[in-house]
Amino acid sequence: MKRRDILAAAGVGLAATALAGCKEKNEAAGDNQASAQQTFNWKMVTSWPKNFPGVGVGAERFAKLVEDMSGGRLKIKVYAAGELVPALEVFDAVSRGTAEMGHGAPYYWKGKVPAAQFFCALPFGPNAQEMNAWLHRGGGMELWEEVYKPYGVLPMACGATGVQTAGWFNKEVNSVDDFKGLKMRTPGLGGEVLTKMGGTVVNMPAGEIFTALQTGAIDATEWIGPYNDLALGLHKASKYYYTPGWQEPNVTFELDVNLKAWETLPADLQAIVRAAARDVNGDMLDDYNAKNMEALEQLREQGVEVRRLPDEVLARLKEVAAEVVDASAAADPVASKVWEQQRAYLARLYEYAELNERDIYNIRG
């Protein structure tokens, strides 16, 4: 009798445990199902004109990818520069939570985050492949996230230009002295080099460049390369087109995400956002490589003469660039930490490029 009582009691206990386990599983399944059904409608502010070739199209493509991959659970409305916030205030808007996302160039907010420009473009620095290697395999992304965290922003690489051109000038550049007094639209560390060469930097969004160049408000400008230059009509406002793009061998664009908003997304949507950013990061570079070639052909057909900056000028620009980058890093402890790690990694990449890639380019040319 006692044995039967004990077995019965055990059976009741096991049944209760099983029922509790089923309840927990059902609750978890219900939570997962609710999460899977939840939808999000986000805003993305950008630094670009609506559907602007390259960067603007890339931002739109990112939003569409996320919506398609998520089955419509995360929809992102893209705002062009000036529609919701000015072009150069994207970072602040995301940091404040005015918009959940933003797309721009890190060096646009160097006044607020001095280290940001080291994730964007270095004069005579890494090309797109080298920058991506540092970011995604050399610890760069971890540093980038660390730098932006105090501002409540999560960064992701989301686009690259490849090697740019030196830009458009209203007068010939024959010597170092031609930079003295030159008013030029060029951002980031390249702009600081120009200042040290005796010029004046005038920063402005894409939509204002043509008029400024045509009216003489600026003497020169650069804006990525032939693909965008042709779209802006810069060849109609200036005569001299110079290479190479010493100031920006590449520009990495960023996707900014408000951290509080990010934490509300379920894990699968976070994974989709990251995957879409990586896709656009590579796709935009492909776009620029293909379209720059086509645009340059069209510019030449319209009589544009492409000139190379003199060796003397490039040599001096390189000297000043090294001084500017070191000084900019030394002026901010966070930037100094980033530059120290970045410089060590880039030295290894440059050694490989010198050993293997340089000869190929020279011989093939």
In this structure, are 148 and 266 located in the same domain? yes
Residue 21 confidence (pLDDT): 60
pLDDT band at 13 (very low <50, low <70, confident <90, very high): low
Q: Per the domain annotation, does 256 fall within a domain?
A: yes
Q: Per the domain annotation, does 16 fall within a domain?
A: no
User: Cα angle at 113 between 325 and 167, to 5 degrees?
Assistant: 55
Is the per-residue pLDDT at 2 higher than 80? Answer: no
In this structure, are 143 and 108 located in the same domain? yes
In this structure, are 159 and 171 located in the same domain? no
In this structure, are 140 and 153 located in the same domain? yes
Separation CA 289–CA 276 (nearest Å)? 20
Is the per-residue pLDDT at 108 higher than 80? Answer: yes
- C-alpha closest to that of 226 among 291, 305, 281, 170: 291
Contacts of 279 (CB under 8 A, 6+ apart): 65
**Number of domains the chain is built from:** 2
Look at 27 and 184; give whichever has higher pLDDT: 184
Determine which helix (DSSP H) or strand (DSSP E) holds 312, and give its type and residue range.
helix 311-330
Domain that holds residue 200: 167-248+304-335
Q: Per the domain annotation, does 30 fall within a domain?
A: no
pLDDT band at 1 (very low <50, low <70, confident <90, very high): very low
* pLDDT tens figures, 184-218: 999 999 999 999 999 999 989 898 999 999 999 99
Contacts of 207 (CB under 8 A, 6+ apart): 49, 81, 82, 87
Residue 184 confidence (pLDDT): 98
For the domain that residue 186 is a member of, what is the CATH number?
3.40.190.10
DSSP 1-53: -HHHHHHHHHHHHHHHHHHHHHHHHHHHHHHHHHHHH--EEEEEEESS-TT-T
Separation CA 337–CA 213 (nearest Å)? 38
pLDDT (mean) for 33-49: 86
Residue 365 confidence (pLDDT): 80
pLDDT (mean) for 64-69: 98
pLDDT (mean) for 1-24: 52
Task: Please answer whether residues 191 and 222 qualify as being in contact, where contact means their C-beta atoms are separated by less than 8 angstroms.
Answer: no
In this structure, are 146 and 243 located in the same domain? no
* pLDDT tens figures, 144-170: 999 999 999 999 999 999 999 999 999
Is the per-residue pLDDT at 307 higher than 60? Answer: yes
In this structure, are 331 and 185 located in the same domain? yes
In this structure, are 285 and 182 located in the same domain? no
In this structure, are 159 and 173 located in the same domain? no
Residue that the structure tokens 């990251």 belong to: 274
**pTM tops 0.85, yes or no:** yes
Quick one: tokens of 142?
């971890």
Distances (CA, A) of 91 to 57, 100, 155, 197, 283: 19, 11, 10, 29, 23
In this structure, are 123 and 110 located in the same domain? yes
In this structure, are 330 and 201 located in the same domain? yes
* pLDDT tens figures, 272-300: 999 999 999 999 999 999 999 999 999 99
Q: What is the largest CA-CA distance in the chain?
A: 109
Separation CA 259–CA 296 (nearest Å)? 41
Residue 29 confidence (pLDDT): 47
Residue 37 confidence (pLDDT): 80
In this structure, are 137 and 239 located in the same domain? no
Is the per-residue pLDDT at 19 higher than 60? Answer: no
Q: Per the domain annotation, does 329 fall within a domain?
A: yes
For the domain that residue 83 is a member of, what is the CATH number?
3.40.190.170
Out of 13-17, 58-62, 223-227, least confident range:
13-17
Separation CA 303–CA 235 (nearest Å)? 9
> Where does a domain end: 263, 289, 315?
289
In this structure, are 157 and 193 located in the same domain? no
Per the prediction, the chain carries an average pLDDT of 92
Q: Per the domain annotation, does 215 fall within a domain?
A: yes
Q: Per the domain annotation, does 5 fall within a domain?
A: no
